[in-house]
């Protein structure tokens, strides 16, 4: 199990994210799995901490899902955190993925939501294909993985 993105799939996802970024006038958009791993991210490169953002977003989305269950909802499909300068829109993409858009106070939240939800529908079907594909074909030269020697972490 896992997400194995081919270069083509990565390009496709990046293109769609870039489009969303431009249309919604967001600062950053990213796709991560529900365990908090970044799959693809686009936008403002100042934000280097995308690993941490996605870990926290996955955690908070999952907590919100529990809350929904307690209230008799299946899931809050989309969550919105509003800040003074930066806001976040998070939406589930199928069972395994989250879409996240960071945008500034100059952007209209409704616009972000509309474009994000449109993009979501596209991502759902893309990820359905990615997840159902068994393995990446062997003619991909990067297919075989080799471990490097020596200790992994040093003090």
Partner 1 sequence: MAVVNYAKKEIQFKIVYYGCGLCGKTTNLQKVHESVPAKAKGNLTSLATSQDRTLFFDFLPLQTMSIEGFITKFQMYTVPGQVKYNSTRRLVLRNCDGVVFCVDSQVDKTQENLESWENLKENLELQKDNLDEMPRVLQYNKQDLPNVAPKEYLDYVLNNKETRIPTFMASAFKGEGVIETLNAVAKLVLQDFIDKH
- Report the interface residues with partner 1, using CB under 8 A: 1-7, 10-11, 14, 33-40, 49, 51-52, 55-56, 58-59, 62-63, 66, 135-136, 140, 142-148, 151-155
* Shortest spacing between CB 140 and partner 1, in angstroms: 7
What are residue 30's phi and psi, to 5 degrees? -150, 155
C-alpha span between 34 and 93 (Å, rounded): 10
* Shortest spacing between CB 155 and partner 1, in angstroms: 5
What are residue 69's phi and psi, to 5 degrees? -60, -45
The smaller minimum CB distance to partner 1, of residues 5 and 109, is found at 5
Greatest Cα pair distance, the chain, in angstroms, is 52
The smaller minimum CB distance to partner 1, of residues 102 and 112, is found at 102
């Amino acid at each position: 199990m896992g997400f194995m993105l081919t270069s083509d799939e990565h390009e496709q996802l990046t293109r769609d994210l870039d489009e969303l970024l431009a249309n919604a006038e967001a600062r950053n958009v990213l796709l991560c799995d529900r365990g908090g791993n970044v799959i693809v991210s686009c936008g403002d490169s100042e934000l280097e901490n995308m690993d941490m953002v996605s870990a926290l977003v996955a955690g908070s989305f999952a907590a919100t899902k529990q809350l929904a269950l307690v209230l008799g909802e299946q899931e809050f499909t989309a969550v919105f955190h509003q800040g003074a300068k930066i806001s976040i829109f998070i939406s589930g993409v199928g069972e395994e993925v989250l879409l996240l858009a960071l945008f500034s106070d100059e952007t209209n939240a409704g616009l972000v939501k509309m474009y994000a939800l449109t993009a979501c529908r596209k991502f759902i079907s893309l990820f359905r294909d990615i997840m159902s594909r068994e393995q990446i074909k062997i003619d991909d030269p990067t297919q075989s993985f080799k471990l490097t020697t020596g200790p992994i972490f040093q003090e």
